Structure 1
């Protein structure tokens, strides 16, 4: 399948050609037609699967088709809520690249920096707003953000929102959104609290699940190094020098640990810096820019700060501290081996972390090979834990029909989910065309789409 077959408009296809993209990833191939038809969507996909383009491309297409009717001041028509500053900036870069020929405006707002330039941009008007919850609520309370004209709401990294304690802020934002909207909900996992949130904000959603969190990319070569905690630094320096690793992302469990690790690497003559939530926005951006440009050999990160780090040709990820949450391991090593490229993930495991390794291997249903090395923990097992038995497959899911909104009511056939009425204007979309709510509650806009292809 190609992007042309997904029914995207010429300006979007032109931008994709410039970026060198020809074939959509599975999450893109399945999600884009659903979004173009106007359905609400739950997208389950691990990091590195092309999730951002899965919602950015159809949103740009939808807004561009109607852009000629949006004269004068640009009201916020799409809100994308994301948990971290790095991820917000990355999404902004994607909208800039994919939307360069559409004439649409986007703005990115997040905390840790002065609000003055953000407020100035909002006063001018923007079609698409990408925001972190804290800064968004702050500017809403000050009267700088108005969402009365919102058409599409995207909640990205919903599980990470929960982990970071943003779930109450998210609910505050949702309470002021127009009922008549399209909602796209993306998450790598669906714990109980995230599932409950999805049920309250989505209307009969379609569901796309690609590369569930329990799977790791086949292109990533994984290995384990048993080592005492006091020897981890010596092992890290040994690997970085012996294997001549040019650039690697190293994970630490805590912010303090990340700073200490970066400091010790510098003492060993290795160019390194740390990135985490306590760093100023300027320091984080400088460290990430230096890493991308190859000025740093090692970027040390915590799990939360690493969300949104997207570095081309990152060959190695090293778990200096093994995570105690198995899903975090999958997210971590997903920073390498992206878009079909090969990658290497090395994990240091001390005595206390062996239980974490067991849980990880159970989750991914795979035994990770153990590597011998000069700093080996002699008390560790010679081989890794026995690989878990294969689990049974998942059953299929039913799909669904169209959507029609109008006169304060919306209906959809053939999909399971929560029913109910939503007030607002009229919007209807089908595979052959779209009719969206008219300005001022009266008119109707229609746009013939390009050919649609089933994913």
Structure 2
């Protein structure tokens, strides 16, 4: 057992006894433990044991009420009615992903208990389906996120089932408070029995003053305190090496991230599993689309690299499926590009590296992200933080207690070059001890689960060509997707100027430089004064920031980069917008895009512009620009000569069969949403 499991489960069986007013019992727990240390099992085992005891007690009470000592029918009926009508344990989790993970773990642990059932409530999914599932069977364990549970308690008439709930568990309590769920916790508590009839477990990685206030309101006065975090312990796992890079310029951002992934694929050949965290949903969408194309031509595993994408704009079913696919991936070269929905509590076994792009939301968020690697005492893992030049204040002022080591860009370049040369000399040595799959891909849709393979290309040459391949690819990036991402980053970073200790105009200029340096735009986008003011930038110098304008209020038809007037909008200033001021957007403020952004595609948004037929990509997935028929088999970049012999022409059906599981899933996910109109291709 892990330390937290040992500390909690050693209190059994007393911990799972029903409440007895005449006995002095250990019932309520306040547990301080890090994420990834086995907390879920620590509270599920007592929950299951307590539920079994309560069901047995309900059967005995029915016999006593009937005045008999033994009657199997009466006892069985009483147990069934009790399990059907009364909730045994209520577990509150801050995120949908963690709630789903807890529910799955509960199902595994109750496998041997006949008829034991788990119910799940979370937002982002059909409430009707969840209520239908609620009505079907027993309510032994209920796992929920706070917002959805409060909704169904107040509006769906299920509060009666919670009035005798035995056990109330608050998991990741510090995260619950950080996400603003204090009111929901207080409201939910009103539907549960009072202390001491209600038993309560509270688990948290930290014990700040807000956490202590919640503990006083939900726990019994004589609760038992368990602390399994050593006093001299580092804020993150001490055995995980952590590095930070302050980039010389924005141009170095994408190459440095690619080299970090390449470094991981070389030192962890056959078992590389990388998570890349980004700060906004739009940035996550853009980088996921970008990396799907870059991986094929710049990484050691090339097309065998699987790219997964998770963010809040994806429907919950898609997020759950992608999370499960990444968790089960055995291909030896996988990358999860994600926003902070994957930062807390979600367990991904075997993650070898966490890369954080840009300043996280704070020190705790940095720690939670790094905690996705090196979990539960494993000895492998690494964290890398990649910052633009003006973000250096985060390291200087926020991460003073974290053991970070600097990693210059030229040092990483040298490391990857040396590893690439060694790999080319003896590839088998890098995969020593790894069971390789040398069979062809009969079913591309299951490629992620077919096992690792030797890397297909000469690694030294691949690394040398990285800058040129990246430059050629950036020529095809959709400008609107970059502009929309810029809008989201402005909203994120301007609010953090005090934490970075830089002036807001430095942030604005730094992000404009990012659009030209990192993303390859010829000129930075124009940003309206109205948008900057809405984002909190009101120093009187924003009227003409980033561009010249002939007059303050141009006509509706006067053109600039978006082709419309600059201040006319339906609801807000800035560029004309349907809902939000700032830049014109189809549905959301920021910039005009086809909703999911990435690169302009025929129908699905992400990808590169491509005709419906030909090239090397499927009609709906985009790809590089290519003629209608043929092109070399691997595509290439726009402007390169293409072979046109009939022998190498690629049909639509052949192309479609090459799409990876992650790409096909992303396409299916996108088709489930309304598609906004796209701009025409150049």
Give the count of matched residue pairs: 352
1:108-139: CA deviations, max 9, x gaps? 12121122332233222311101111221222
Q: Distance in 2 between matches of 1:326 and 1:206?
A: 29
Q: Distance in 2 between matches of 1:309 and 1:201?
A: 25
- Cα shift at 1:359: 4.3
1:400-441: CA deviations, max 9, x gaps? xxxxxxxxxxxxxxxxxxxxxxxxxxxxxxxxxxxxxxxxxx
- Cα shift at 1:91: 0.3
Structure with greater Cα Rg: 2
Contact persistence 2:264–2:353 (CA under 8 A): no
- Cα shift at 1:361: 4.1
- Cα shift at 1:376: 8.1
1:144 lines up with 2:165 in the alignment: no
In structure 2, which of residues 241, 244, 268 is the aligned counterpart of residue 221 of structure 1? 241
- Cα shift at 1:264: 1.6
In structure 2, which of residues 278, 283, 286 is the aligned counterpart of residue 257 of structure 1? 283
Q: Secondary structure at the match of 1:300?
A: strand
RMSD of aligned alpha carbons:
2.4
Contact persistence 1:85–1:110 (CA under 8 A): yes
1:349-406: CA deviations, max 9, x gaps? 3333322223454333x3x2222333989xxxxxxxxxxxxxxxxxxxxxxxxxxxxx
TM-score, with normalisation over the residues of structure 2? 0.49
- 1:66–1:214 Cα change, 3 Å: same
**Higher relative contact order, structure no. (Cα contacts within 8 Å, ≥ 6 residues apart):** 1
TM-score, with normalisation over the residues of structure 1? 0.72
- 1:125–1:376 Cα change, 3 Å: closer
Q: Distance in 2 between matches of 1:139 and 1:168?
A: 15
- 1:69–1:303 Cα change, 3 Å: same
In structure 2, which of residues 32, 42, 56 is the aligned counterpart of residue 44 of structure 1? 32
Q: Distance in 2 between matches of 1:243 and 1:49?
A: 25
- 1:302–1:191 Cα change, 3 Å: farther
Residue 184 of structure 1: aligned partner: 201
Contact persistence 1:152–1:182 (CA under 8 A): yes
Residue 157 of structure 1: aligned partner: 172
In structure 1, which of residues 274, 293, 314 is the aligned counterpart of residue 328 of structure 2? 293
1:232 lines up with 2:244 in the alignment: no
1:308-364: CA deviations, max 9, x gaps? 321111111111223241122221111111122121111213333322223454333
In structure 2, which of residues 209, 217, 236 is the aligned counterpart of residue 200 of structure 1? 217
Q: Secondary structure at the match of 2:162?
A: coil
Contact persistence 2:117–2:140 (CA under 8 A): yes
In structure 2, which of residues 405, 414, 427 is the aligned counterpart of residue 369 of structure 1? 405
Q: Distance in 2 between matches of 1:89 and 1:229?
A: 38
Q: Secondary structure at the match of 2:345?
A: coil
1:150-194: CA deviations, max 9, x gaps? 010001111211222222111110112100211111112233322
Q: Distance in 2 between matches of 1:359 and 1:205?
A: 37
The 5 A counterparts of 1:276-355 are: 276-294=311-329, 297-341=334-378, 342-355=380-393
- Cα shift at 1:222: 1.6
Q: Distance in 2 between matches of 1:327 and 1:171?
A: 24
Contact persistence 2:26–2:223 (CA under 8 A): no
The structure with the largest helix share of the pair is 2
Q: Identify unmatched segments of 5+ residues in structure 1.
A: 1-23, 378-455
Contact persistence 2:275–2:335 (CA under 8 A): yes
Contact persistence 2:279–2:340 (CA under 8 A): yes
- 1:38–1:97 Cα change, 3 Å: farther
The structure with the largest strand share of the pair is 1
Q: Distance in 2 between matches of 1:230 and 1:147?
A: 56
Q: Identify unmatched segments of 5+ residues in structure 2.
A: 17-24, 59-78, 297-305, 414-682
Q: Distance in 1 between matches of 2:35 and 2:108?
A: 20
